[in-house]
Structure 1
Amino acid sequence: MGWQSRTRTLQVFDTELSADTVEWCPLPQFSHVLACGTYQLQKGDEKQTAENCPAPNRIGRLYLFECNPQTSFIPPLTETQRRDTPAILDLKWCHVPISERPVLGMATASGEIQLYKLMESQQGTCGLEHELSTGLGPDRLALSLDWSTGRGESSDVRVVSSDSSGSLTALSLGEASLNTVCQWKAHDFEAWIAAFSYWDTQIVYSGGDDCKLKGWDLRMGPSSPTFTSKRHTMGVCSIHSNPHREHILATGSYDENVLLWDGRNMKQPLSETAVGGGVWRLKWHPSEEHLLLAACMHNDFHILHCQKAMEGQDAPCPVLASYILHNSLAYGADWSRLPLSNSTPPSPQEPPQISVGLTESGGHLRIQYESPTASFDTSLEDDSGRYIPDQCSLPEKSSVPDPVTSPARDSQSLSCLMASCSFYDHMMHVWRWDWSPEDKQKPSEPVPSS
């Protein structure tokens, strides 16, 4: 029996400023709430000289939405709040309530980690209220954050953050404060990403623009890493610990590869999958342990099936589905925990999802990726200096796993609600992915006469 994989756009929202991060609230009561963060670099007057030109002004905006995916013909998102902020590099909801409220963490270009609590108004809509802020230090941008609560454990809630100075900061959440536990220099250049091991939250992983993936044990102090891997050949910018399978870790890089690791042996990855674009964010599915969502910058969004790799078979992870309707750098992506019916709803007519291949050139493709911090430019040209389209071809799809290895073993299909955002076109998309057995057409039977 074959399997059918289908993505359907439900709504497109213009964020006005460049969008780089989206996050669904993980708490069941508030799983309909979606946050989106933006980042915009405002350059000074070009007539100003270098001596009196002020530092670039980075502004942002935080959007909050509520979603009702059961409305077939009405856009499912309703905007409930927008607030201007410093430029936002990362958003993460705490996986457990804090003082009985959902809490959203934000990494900002002002070098702060800001916490917001979600409140309900008398009208029944939700809004975010600023709760706490802490600075990471002068002259740095907070680039990422992660909560220690990935497996739903509420004891000793902590945050880890990475910043543009190459440093990591571990923070402890008190009753009314966010306190720095330790801060240390981890990478030679920007530390793009920091993440907890959700199974042992004294273990922290980090990736930087020095092309290194490192591990740290907070019990031993941050004087030296527990390991340093140079397996990625370009900057490491995404890390996510699998909350369902102990020791499993996913990492992504500007080198356009997703690596899966067993945390007990960081000398060699379990698998390597080429996805055709710099991997800015990776997200494991909220309940299906083998599904991994990748935001691949120049090559859209892909859902990988990682079961065979996690079982020790040295093979790339098959691509189950690709969402290619964004027209700019694919940065933010997340799975929703909202339940969906298995029947695919009607949707407006969509253009066919056609990938744009690279033009033929006599030299090698040279791509220099741009980070959201705009610390370096994107170059898309071959060795002869000829322009190359900024949409790389899709990764070659491996065979779709058979029903025995399907992610939904106990059901006939799987339906997921997703959100994704892209940078220069400042767009956020809400879409659904349906994976189900193919319907075999039965020969038509005569209708009995009445």
Structure 2
Amino acid sequence: MASRSRTRNLQVFDTELSADTVEWCPVSASNDVLVCGTYQLQKGAGEEDATPSRTGRLYLFEFRQEAGSMIPPLTELQRLDTAAILDLKWCHVPVSGHTVLGMAAATGELQLYTLSGSQEGGRSLQTLSSVEVGTERLALSLDWSTGRMDSSDVRVVCSDSAGCVSVLSLAEGALTSLSQWKAHDFEAWISAFSYWDTQLIYSGGDDCKLKGWDLRVGPSCPTFTSKGHSMGVCSIHSNPHREHILATGSYDEQVLLWDGRNMRQPLSESPMGGGVWRLKWHPTHQHLLLAACMHNDFHILNCQLALEGNGGACPVVASYILHNSLAYGADWSRLSLEEPIPCSPAVAEPKESLTESGGHLRIQYESPTASFDTSLEDDAGRYIPEGIAAPSTTPTAGPALNSNDDSSPLSGLLASCSFYDHMLHVWRWDWAPHEVQQKPEQC
């Protein structure tokens, strides 16, 4: 028995400005919708002390994969010029019948948009509400309280460059500030809800501290302060499937898993070889964790043993290595990939420059809108050339994934973006955790 893992690039899009955040819509009626945010620092012209400006752009896409079609599946629906975007998050449930997107902006604002229209009439983002969390600061992150798909209490937490954390409520289309406090000495890179008890807030900052807050007793004192990370804490995600489980990442290149009932010692520590800017638990499988690792690409961790209390580093079961710049934004789609992705048509080969770097094969190409099969990897994330006997893991049509069956083959659709090369990638991952090796499929 051996696991089989394969990642395949489906499409690449040039965002023109530096890309740092990407999010698939979790609301079931709009699972095919993807947004990408960009951040561009524009240096002032003329005098050396001229204040630089930060600009951004918000992209709205629709993903449609038709069987047998050679048309790239990602279609741009809209682009909006905005302030520089630091983070994007969809509310997990409709609010008053509307699908809502939150944006953390370099102007210090938390901005909300609604997704309007339909597949027949076209969809677009419309401004809903905006609130300034503070002057002369950048809004750095946001999270919704609805991670377990519960709409009974819709709130947003936002962190900023002044080290503050703000909690806001959303009612009747308007944001209302509930509380704000100084949480960290320097930038508060990340803030997040506990999805199981939304009165609990987590925050991480450039002061190397991870902190917990209980809104019932007020933010005058944290419930805990952890120095488990040795550098700035920049990613936090509560597991929506397992109560008390928390994943954190840092510039120290470590992913730590925690049991929220005991924050003295992490459940596991996994070195990633790059600062961990974003972490995302799989939408249905409790043990799979996606990590955007800045200088070391994108990786999927299998946290099963750690969640069972066995400790040790979580193994990497897949790596996506085709970006050529800082790995910042990454997200799982909830779309079901029941139809196999067709083999690529015979087209002219893209220009490639292959260099070995830490065991990774980097592919550089000139066609940012191409749709082609680019990479095979084994369960350790190593590149496997097409010519050798590496079995395909393209699944056959089947039922939806069962989050309680950790041995079933699965297929996932993901998106990732990288900064200086301003690229958005959409890719597919197929994994058979325990499957006998078979004759490879011929594409």
Q: Which residue of 1 aligns with 2:57?
A: 61
1:235 counterpart = 2:232: yes
Q: Which residue of 2 aligns with 1:35?
A: 35
Q: Which residue of 1 aligns with 2:247?
A: 250
Q: Which residue of 2 aligns with 1:381?
A: none
Work out the CA distance in 1 between the residues paired with 2:88 and 2:138.
14
> Aligned pair in 2 of structure 1 residues 122, 254: CA closer, same or farther (>3 Å)?
closer
Q: Is the 8 A contact 1:291 1:407 kept in 2?
A: no
> Which is bigger in relative contact order (C-alpha 8 A, separation at least 6)?
2
Q: Which residue of 2 aligns with 1:226?
A: 223
Q: Which residue of 1 aligns with 2:109?
A: 112
The one of 135, 141, 144 equivalent to 1:144 is 141
CA shift, 1:124, in A, is: 2.3
1:70 counterpart = 2:66: yes
Q: Which residue of 1 aligns with 2:7?
A: 7
Work out the CA distance in 2 between the residues paired with 1:420 and 1:338.
16
Q: Which residue of 2 aligns with 1:272?
A: 269
CA shift, 1:355, in A, is: 4.9
Q: Which residue of 2 aligns with 1:441?
A: 439
> Aligned pair in 2 of structure 1 residues 224, 410: CA closer, same or farther (>3 Å)?
closer
1:75-86 matches, cutoff 5 A: 75-86=72-83
1:214 counterpart = 2:215: no
1:199 counterpart = 2:196: yes
CA shift, 1:156, in A, is: 1.5
Work out the CA distance in 2 between the residues paired with 1:421 and 1:438.
34
Work out the CA distance in 1 between the residues paired with 2:305 and 2:407.
20
Q: Is the 8 A contact 1:261 1:271 kept in 2?
A: yes
The one-letter code of the counterpart of 1:32 is: D
1:99 counterpart = 2:96: yes
The one of 300, 305, 326 equivalent to 2:302 is 305
Q: Which residue of 2 aligns with 1:48?
A: 47
What SS does structure 2 have at the residue aligned with 1:181? strand
Work out the CA distance in 2 between the residues paired with 1:352 and 1:346.
23
1:161 counterpart = 2:158: yes
Q: Is the 8 A contact 1:342 1:434 kept in 2?
A: no
CA shift, 1:99, in A, is: 1.2
Q: How many residues align?
A: 396
- Structure 2 unaligned blocks of 5 or more: 360-378, 383-401
> Aligned pair in 2 of structure 1 residues 100, 65: CA closer, same or farther (>3 Å)?
same
> Aligned pair in 2 of structure 1 residues 412, 176: CA closer, same or farther (>3 Å)?
closer
CA shift, 1:6, in A, is: 0.4
What SS does structure 2 have at the residue aligned with 1:12? strand
> Aligned pair in 2 of structure 1 residues 344, 438: CA closer, same or farther (>3 Å)?
farther
Deviations 1:263-299 (A, max 9, x none): 0000000000001000000000000000000000000
The one-letter code of the counterpart of 1:11 is: Q
1:417 counterpart = 2:413: yes
What SS does structure 2 have at the residue aligned with 1:66? strand
Q: Select between 321-330 and 410-419 the one with higher mean Cα deviation.
A: 410-419
The one-letter code of the counterpart of 1:87 is: A
1:335 counterpart = 2:332: yes
Deviations 1:97-151 (A, max 9, x none): 0111110000000000000000016952210000000000110000000000000
Structure 2 length-normalised TM: 0.85
The one-letter code of the counterpart of 2:170 is: L
Work out the CA distance in 2 between the residues paired with 1:355 and 1:347.
25
Work out the CA distance in 1 between the residues paired with 2:119 and 2:256.
47
Q: Is the 8 A contact 1:9 1:347 kept in 2?
A: no
Q: Which residue of 1 aligns with 2:357?
A: 356
> Aligned pair in 2 of structure 1 residues 82, 300: CA closer, same or farther (>3 Å)?
same
Work out the CA distance in 1 between the residues paired with 2:238 and 2:356.
30
The alignment yields a C-alpha RMSD, in angstroms, of: 2.3
> Aligned pair in 2 of structure 1 residues 355, 215: CA closer, same or farther (>3 Å)?
farther
Q: Which residue of 2 aligns with 1:319?
A: 316
Q: Which residue of 1 aligns with 2:374?
A: none
Work out the CA distance in 2 between the residues paired with 1:289 and 1:120.
33
Q: Is the 8 A contact 2:318 2:380 kept in 1?
A: no
The one of 122, 128, 137 equivalent to 1:125 is 122
> Aligned pair in 2 of structure 1 residues 120, 397: CA closer, same or farther (>3 Å)?
closer
Work out the CA distance in 2 between the residues paired with 1:88 and 1:281.
15
Larger Rg: 1
Work out the CA distance in 2 between the residues paired with 1:150 and 1:310.
19
CA shift, 1:410, in A, is: 7.2
> Aligned pair in 2 of structure 1 residues 42, 197: CA closer, same or farther (>3 Å)?
same
Work out the CA distance in 2 between the residues paired with 1:304 and 1:290.
8
Deviations 1:6-27 (A, max 9, x none): 0000000000000000000001
What SS does structure 2 have at the residue aligned with 1:7? strand
CA shift, 1:70, in A, is: 3.5
What SS does structure 1 have at the residue aligned with 2:357? coil
What SS does structure 2 have at the residue aligned with 1:292? strand
Q: Is the 8 A contact 2:319 2:381 kept in 1?
A: no
Q: Is the 8 A contact 2:6 2:430 kept in 1?
A: yes
Work out the CA distance in 2 between the residues paired with 1:397 and 1:343.
22
Work out the CA distance in 1 between the residues paired with 2:353 and 2:319.
12
The one-letter code of the counterpart of 2:420 is: Y
CA shift, 1:177, in A, is: 1.4
Work out the CA distance in 1 between the residues paired with 2:37 and 2:113.
13
Work out the CA distance in 1 between the residues paired with 2:309 and 2:129.
43
Work out the CA distance in 2 between the residues paired with 1:292 and 1:254.
18
The one-letter code of the counterpart of 1:33 is: V
Q: Percent identity?
A: 68
